[in-house]
Structure 1
Amino acid sequence: MRRYLQLILLLTMTTTSALSQSDFKTQQLKFERVKTAYDQKWDNLKNELSKKGVDGPFKLFMTAYKSEGKLEVWLQTESQKQYKHFKTYNFCEHSGTLGPKTKEGDRQTPEGFYHISAFNPKSNFYLSLGINYPNSVDRLRSGEDKPGSDIYIHGSCVTIGCIPLTDEKIKEVYVLAVEARNSGQTNIPVYIFPFKMTERNFKKHTAQYPIQTKFWQSLQPGYAYFEKNRTLPKVIQVKGNYLTK
């Protein structure tokens, strides 16, 4: 009897989890801006997805490059072993310089390995996707200073440390994120690099920003792993830096 009740409880929890995932899109569509984004962008996105061989649910991964001002969107379906590049969006505006964000008000865009932590359908910047800054690396690097918070990929064309894409572009990115989340992807990675971390670029930028050399050395293996394998590396946070395993 006890095992029977445990089985019923497990099935109930599984069903509830599945419903909560599939309900995410339904809840988001109750917001006017999300509905508008779907009305304006989803049909074209579905056509583009089909041309790329993405005909079913997908996982989403985003990587941003500050120097180049690019946000790349990568997708992976259940039948694919690797992520495939889908689209690249240009930053609409930049803030700060190369190097990580270390304190509140420094106008820096963070650098590191993050994930989407919030969907904001009523953002002051049309639609926005929050990232989990500050993480433990950021907090340790900030020392006694407040590290700041509220870092988003968003619409509009202003920034004091976020990644603005314009309203039209965030509609597409937001819809893709909702679709991924609705399909069960609770952790949507967002990697933010100071630049495309090739050896040539690394030498160029560390010559200009030598103080960032050690930190950037902790970012580069994660960049190189994905470039080589098109799968996500295992990255852990250690003493103010990152370690790729």
Structure 2
Amino acid sequence: MRQGSSFAFVGFRLVWDSIMVFRRLMNTPAGLLLGNSGLSGRKAARLGAALMLAGVLAACQADEFTAGPNKAQQPVSASIKRKMNDLNMSSTSPIMIRIFKEESALEVWKQTRTGKYQLLDEFEICKWSGKLGPKFKEGDRQAPEGFYEITPALMNPNSSYHLAFNLGYPNSYDRSHGRTGSHLMVHGACSSRGCYAMTDEQVQDIYALARDSFKGGQRSFQVQAFPFRMTPENMARHRDSEHMEFWKMLKTGYDHFEITQTPPQISVCEKKYVFDATTLVEGVPFRASAKCPDYQVSPSIATAVASKQRRDNEKYQQLAARFDARDERQKRWEERSNRLAEALGGGEDDTNPAVATAETAAPDVQPAAETATAAVPAEAAPAAQRRPGSAVETAFAPQDQSGGSSVGSFFKRWVPFGPKASEEGAGVGPIETEVVPDTKPN
């Protein structure tokens, strides 16, 4: 039975059962008493409708998505079937999954009949826990990052969270670094304690796609979990993160897939990921904590990946310089604003209006040298995309809501922008400026 038809049937049964309950009620002594109570036909009909509506609403308090007792065997939705037909995909062809924390996105890629993979669908992650960065230990409620292989043994058709599959954390890379954790999954129920949680309806399709790929002969499918889309813009925005070296390694695997459009072969040696590598001596294995054996990567793949990484690095350097210059301008602006606030609030009579005007110049005015360095489109640095309500456990420092001193209040009356003046400085130093007002035209 099709999913839409089953829903219609359930709705019909709810209404019919409510009618039967109402008829039985009217045949009871209480119902006969109600019928003989002098209610008009119209009032009695209204009462019956209210009872029927109450029965329907009570029945709708069940789970958000109900697939029946055989939920693990349900086919994919009609919309997914149409997309597979449009993209020339077999229902049992292999799949691959990519996860992006910051964007709260889960992508399902599927092999077409040409042998390459195409994006089949993108699902919005309902909740994920922790913050950007890998998982380190059991109980830190951190969703993992890395490359994981999902076998049929890791599928859970009887999950308490509708349907689920285990990521297989910790993998050989995680174990080589002493990382611990268990039961890290992609599941339904929209509840996360270190997992990637979807809605029941979403995980129903994801689970069905994985199940069908195993039926088609795929022995395992790959899950690539990233902190964000590994673009130069995002790498530059997070350039000061303690996890940058780890993310650069993940980006290499990301680039392999972007170039080849097939999941890279994952190996681990010397406690690092190695992608699409083949040992030069047949039968010599990769061992996670041991020295890497002699290996090679296909020259065509290695050349293409190196070219992409060179372009990305050039853009990264440009963006990093631009962001550093912006941060430095902001820092200088805050320092000057604080000094000016102290001077104005301290009642100095010899404050030079010209200096004050120069000091309050907009902080985004960029010197010529910095402009030349930062010749990058403004849209190259998008704001972080995080779905409101996602379970990202991070700390936010509350803003100071105190009334402030007379220094800050006086400064607000004169300069209606910029941060509040620091109240820690005891003395007022000389006010300096690097900005010279333009000469007025004659």
- In the alignment, the residues of structure 2 paired with residue 56 and residue 70 of structure 1 have an alpha-carbon distance, to the nearest angstrom, of 23
Deviation at 1:99, TM superposition (A): 0.7
Taking only the aligned residue pairs, the percentage that are identical comes to 35
How far residue 47 of structure 1 moved from its aligned partner, in angstroms, is 2.3
Match of 2:165 in 1: 129
Q: Name 2:272's counterpart in structure 1.
A: 241
The answer on 1:45 being equivalent to 2:80 is yes
1:224 equivalenced with 2:255 (yes/no):
yes
Residue ranges of structure 1 left out of the alignment (5+ in a row): 1-29
Residue 62 of structure 1, aligned match among 85, 90, 97: 97
3-state SS in 2 of match to 1:122: coil
Return the alpha-carbon distance in structure 2 between the equivalents of residues 183 and 166 of structure 1: 26
Deviation at residue 215 of structure 1 after TM alignment: 1.2
Match of 2:136 among 102, 107, 111: 102
Aligned residue number for residue 32 of structure 2: none
Deviations 1:69-111 (A, max 9, x none): 111000004x313101100001101210111001001111111
Q: How far apart are 1:198 and its partner, in Å?
A: 1.0
| 2:188 counterpart of 1:155 | yes
Aligned-partner SS, 2:98: strand
Name the CA distance, whole Å, in 1 between partners of 2:104 and 2:140: 19
Distance 1:206 1:107, change over 3 A: farther
Pick which of 130-139 and 102-111 moved more: 130-139
CA apart distance, 1:197: 0.8
The separation in 1 between residues aligned to 2:104 and 2:78, in whole angstroms, is 27
Q: Find the aligned partners of 2:220 and 2:90 in 1 and give their Cα distance.
A: 21
Tell me if 1:203 matches 2:236: yes
Aligned to 1:34: 72
Separation in structure 2 between the aligned mates of residue 199 and residue 155 of structure 1, nearest angstrom: 32
The 8 Å contact of residues 137 and 240 in structure 1, kept in 2 or not, is answered as: yes
Could you say which residue in structure 2 is the equivalent of 1:19? Answer: none
Larger radius of gyration: 2
Who is 1:213 aligned against? 244
1:169 to 194, 198, 202: 202
Structure-2 separation of matches of 1:159 and 1:127: 14
1:113 aligned partner: 147
Structure 1 length normalisation: TM-score?
Answer: 0.79
Alpha-carbon distance between aligned partners in 2 of 1:187 and 1:71, rounded to the nearest angstrom: 18
- Aligned to 2:239, the other structure's residue is in SS state helix
Paired residues, number:
208
Give the RMSD, CA atoms, in angstroms: 1.9
Task: Please tell me the residue identity of whatever aligns with 1:50.
Answer: N
Structure 2 counterpart of 1:84: 118
How far apart are the structure 2 equivalents of 1:196 and 1:105?
Answer: 26
